[in-house]
Structure 1
């Protein structure tokens, strides 16, 4: 439906479904016509940003249009409204940005500008506009362009431009936002894009005024080398399964699609995926995704090459439904699920084909409110090949309640195949130390439980006992000896050797650095006293300047016989005594072990 307007060009552009911009606001035309009792033509707009809207498409009890995305994102404006723009063609936008020569200023302005260039601001000027005239001259050869960024770009033009018959906007500001592939009214035709810039590999059309995937395909069909396409915050009309008019070969070689904030559904994503056989990576954050139905007439996989998908900042909560949806991606390896609504990961159903989920190598669950350790252990069952995990503690109550220094070793110990946690590699030494720490801690917590209870609460505990030996066996011998002794302070004293070090110890000899004798100092400590209260005595025994305040950390250097290691060039197990409210017995420290005291006496 069209309306009488100032120019024939604008008459052709105003149609239901057209995209417009008005200053910083973008929207979609949902209605063109009369709105009684007023006279003249009105445009009913659904704004991308709902805060710009005033209603849901109705006026005085009469509905003129419906808002597709936001209930109250609608308003009416006149076709002659200030700064109203219908954008430009793809080639016009490229020429505006990459070819248009800068306006020549008069002599007085040039002289004033020249005075502003000084040593004080020269560096800043060069950073903002490094030889832009040379850049424009080189880019004027558009066939050499490999990367083009037109994402939400606009250009101000002077009155002389407006006087040349360019009346597509009602102000002197002409927008170069892409709204269509080519403009026949300006002499453009099919094939011009292929002849002008055929070598594009990377293209940013974010926040454009393109109305549909069909119109986008009219551009990309001529860009046969295109590999990366950015479409953030576009608003394309929905794809109807029975009426898809995507140009053949439009996305044949595309490997990377980025479409945050486009409000695309999983169904639409699968439909467009059928036209992108080479796609390897999808970024689809902030799209409100929470359902994953995919009903395609064509039974072939829409994503035969897809290896990575970023679904951050959506509303995903159903883990099994998500994994089931990803079964159509046979090569999927990496999935980003940060800032979603996943609160639980249930056990793997017995009838589930686990093999399809096991190919996932990396998962990011940052800022999801998982409720228990069981969720992480179930994650390991869903993804047996999981190598890398990102997870934050703030939203997870079972992690937030822990000492921050305990979180990493406890996660590492519970996930046996993990190689990287929060982008930091897990070394063999770190894994061994984490598993021994977990074994020692959980053995105490599960004392007195039945084997069934222990296996339910700590499924990794049995495997670690088989790997390192049961902690209970070592304890039972000492408990037998101690049972014959009276419970006196003397029986709770532990004589142990301590060393002062200026750096964090390592598992490799000489283990720590010290300007003093490596023989160490023997000191008797109560095993039932919190480590925090023992720091003063340790500082006095070692003659540490500044006393306990100079102690940065305390580390346990385990005896070789305890760690049951042979022929490893005297490598030793070392771990920090991070929780100062625990006592030495909680860390299973014996007289054969040693303590390394890291100090800073400066």
Structure 2
């Protein structure tokens, strides 16, 4: 092994970070090589295998994360914590005129020029002076500065030397409250722990994008008092296992927020011990396929917010899990984000009340379940319909996708949901009703609130399904005002015809042209379905909204829903569902399921 390099060492080549996974010879070449795993997995050429020989394993498991580089290739200089602090917040002029760590007056000799003209700096000197006072800094961002530890030149050092540096850090910047050490060359967690130990006021720490080696025994239970005041910890894209995340959080008895996104996690078996104060966990962009897979997080007694955006979740429980013994998953969780997942069944929403009895806020955007077409229209589900069906199926929701659910919204949604169930029930014999109701757990509850819906079942037909009569639709064509030249202007036109289901819309338009004596390109065909839909307020899905907290506490008052569609229409709460039959080769049997239909003819 090369004397200057070791396995797990963090290096930077021209700003690209990597971890040493192999040192030695490569068959078919001369000289020695470094096998590295790039943080940017698209930068490499292989996964550690070359010429059919496996030289090393990439922790990211990506096919192009690995490369071989020569040990003689120049590396970017690693910095200590204080060197990076000085580089970021103290200019060269300050260092020249003052002490090594700032606290000196700024020179105003330097000028900024744009297109040859001197730009007057108003207030910049004052800002730089404030930032240069390192002992007054409260928010420090040192991401991407090649920090390798607390000592110079990337050395780990002896305990006495490290203690002296901890004291120096504490004297230099004792008031830091928020610290970002993301995307650096940190290899040992002990360096992070020592930096935090030197900052008694630290409350938030981000070490995203670092690649720590195997946690040493001394970095475990013996350091529980290292981070006593830390409340927020971000470990995104560190490729740490869940067990390692748990080991680190045990050093943070005051922790309330934990982020471990983009770590290839697929199952959380271990519970976060000693982290009873954690109320928010962010596990976005991992590999979870069910809600029960994050059981180690859900078992926290005070967990209120769980962010699972951009996973592969499509069910609540894993296959084989017993509902009675597994649910509820959490009695404290109130806020759940499962947007950008693989949820494709409404049964997922039906089960949320049972999985989380106190759920009040949900994000569900960009899931396949909303791509299901509207059965009545054959078109993609609208935003309003998706909103109503989601609200109706999850009875405890107060906020959906950052929108407050008013009392009026909920009444409209639940009545619409009941009408959808009633339509399905009307299509099956009464003895099969229980099978349909079983798929709608809230049906009985909603019937108690609004009364059972009127179900009009079709009488048993004596018509042979293979006969011509069974393949006909009785269609009533009418116009509200006369549109043909020979019609009586005082009476609306009305025609009844038996039309084969196999006729496409082009042929249907041809029939209308002959009946109403109009040109084919001048008419529109509107199918009046006879059904009524509540009108929901249009909502935009603001992906970057930060108003969720305000939305959850906003007023949810609303008017009482009208049960009569005709009365409701007057107040603008309901609208009759109409479908325009667009000219094309699609058969009318695709649009119209029954044996009768009413089509309104209008001029364009």
Query: Could you tell me the TM-score, scaled by structure 2's length?
Result: 0.67
Distance 1:194 1:100 in 2: 21
Q: Deviations over 1:151-176 (max 9, x none)?
A: 114xxxxxxxxxxxxxxxxxxxxxxx
1:378 aligns with 2:351: yes
Q: Does 1:457 align with 2:439?
A: yes
Inter-partner Cα distance in structure 2 for 1:326 and 1:35? 44
Residue of structure 2 in register with 1:256 after alignment: 232
CA distance in 2 between counterparts of 1:24 and 1:385 reads: 47
Q: How far 1:55 moved relative to its partner?
A: 4.4
Distance 1:343 1:355 in 2: 18
Q: 1:245 to 1:346 in 2, by over 3 A?
A: closer
**Unmatched tracts of structure 1, length 5 or more:** 4-10, 154-176, 480-488, 496-522, 534-547, 549-553, 565-569, 587-602
Aligned to 1:274: 250
Match 1:288 to one of 264, 267, 270: 264
Listed as ranges, the matches of 1:122-141 within 5 Å are 131-141=123-133
Q: Deviations over 1:469-524 (max 9, x none)?
A: 22228x89xx9xxxxxxxxx9x999x9xxxxxxxxxxxxxxxxxxxxxxxxxxx99
* 111 and 197 in structure 1: CA distance in 2 versus 1, 3 angstrom threshold: closer
How far the C-alpha of 1:311 sits from its partner, in A, is 1.1
Which one is further off, 417-426 or 15-24?
Answer: 15-24
SS at match of 1:50: coil
User: Would you say 1:310 and 2:308 are equivalent positions?
Assistant: no
Q: Flag the 1:86–1:442 CA change in 2: closer, same or farther, 3 A.
A: same
Report SS of the residue matched to 1:443.
helix
Aligned to 1:467: 449
Question: For residues 18-97 of structure 1, what are the structure 2 equivalents within 5 Å?
Answer: 18-32=9-23, 42-57=33-48, 65-70=56-61, 72-82=64-74, 84-97=75-88
Alignment of 1:543-582 (within 5 A): 563=563, 574-577=572-575, 579-581=577-579
Aligned pair partner of 1:179 in 141, 148, 153 = 148
Alpha-carbon distance between aligned partners in 1 of 2:419 and 2:356, rounded to the nearest angstrom: 27
Query: 1:292-312 deviations in whole A, cap 9, x for unaligned?
Result: 232x8xxx8242111111111
1:574–1:431 distance in 2 versus 1, CA, 3 Å? farther
Shift in Å, 1:15: 3.4
Aligned residue pairs: how many?
468
Shift of 1:35: 6.2
CA contact (8 A) 1:227 1:253 kept: yes
Q: Residues 219 and 234 of structure 1: is their aligned pair in 2 closer, same or farther, counting only changes over 3 Å?
A: same
Instruction: Give the secondary-structure state (helix, strand or coil) at the position aligned to 1:207.
Output: coil
CA distance 1:436–1:220, change in 2 (3 Å) = same
User: CA contact under 8 A between 2:224 and 2:252: conserved in structure 1?
Assistant: no
* Matches of 2:206 and 2:255, distance apart in 1: 13
For residues 233-283 of structure 1, the C-alpha deviation after alignment (integer angstroms, 9 at most, x for no partner) is 111113367973874533221111122211122111111111111111112
Q: Structure 2: which 5+ runs fail to align? A: 97-108, 374-379, 460-473, 481-490, 497-508, 510-523, 525-531, 536-558, 582-591, 593-604
Contact preservation (8 Å) 2:413, 2:534: no
DSSP 3-state at the match of 2:306: strand
Q: CA deviation at 1:358?
A: 2.2
Using structure 1 for the length normalisation, give the TM-score. 0.67
Check the 8 A contact 2:425/2:433 in 1, yes or no.
no
CA distance in 2, matches of 1:556, 1:267: 50
Q: 1:428 to 1:131 in 2, by over 3 A?
A: same
